Chain A
């Protein structure tokens, strides 16, 4: 079974530029998550999709971050304009779960962003 795929793996951009990350979840997984992980910290949820609808985006900085999941499969996360503090790993994850999240979450390897 293929895992969660993410690209690009690494990206270096200057502040105020824009960047986009792509995620392809495990086939059949209805729920997709984007997490931000700053070095030395645990992941923080940015947004959760159930199929192509947003379940939770309470911690997404909506003035600069946006995400979409067209057709309930692939997803993109965009940052525009980037700030230095956005330097982090952006992890995509998926699960079979219903909204209550009773099942295991599978993570991709992450997209490493450095803003200079």
Chain B
């Protein structure tokens, strides 16, 4: 059974810092991995989708990497802004038709 963890559970950084969020999964037989953002009281917004054959994906100030063999993904946020404050969740989809398994999220606060 796939299990997804995210460390840290919460993170506070001053504006302008570069930061890394971590996601770990127990079963490396994944089809893809997706990073989401969730603002308070809102649904989830997809940020980046990495297929199992890919090593990384970039969108603006965001870069997500995937290392299947070690069961890890990282989300790198460059030059953080207060508007980046939200909860970031990763979700893993298995190779055998299983649905996405979500991590508990990392709650990010970027202080002005």
Contact = CB atoms under 8 A, between A and B. Distances in A.
Contacts of A42: 4, 89, 91, 102-105
A100 B49 contact: no
A91 B104 contact: no
Interface string A72-105: 0000000000000000000101000001111111
B99 A43 contact: no
B43 A109 contact: yes
Determine the main DSSP class of A at the interface with B.
Answer: loop
Contacts of A99: 97
A99 to B, nearest CB: 6
Nearest to B36: A107
A56 interface: yes
Given A45-B100, A56-B99, A107 B32 contact: no
Nearest to A103: B49
A77 to B, nearest CB: 15
Interface residues of A, number: 25
Determine the main DSSP class of B at the interface with A.
Answer: strand
Interface string B4-48: 100000000000000000000000000110101000011111100
A40 interface: yes
A26 interface: no
Interface in B31-77: 31-32, 34, 36, 41-46, 49, 51
Given A100-B31, A102-B31, A109 B100 contact: no
22 contacts: A4-B43, A33-B99, A40-B104, A42-B4, A42-B89, A43-B102, A56-B99, A91-B43, A99-B97, A100-B97, A101-B99, A102-B31, A102-B32, A102-B51, A104-B49, A105-B34, A106-B46, A107-B44, A108-B43, A109-B42, A110-B42, A110-B43
Interface of B: 4, 31-32, 34, 36, 41-46, 49, 51, 89, 91, 93, 97, 99-100, 102-105
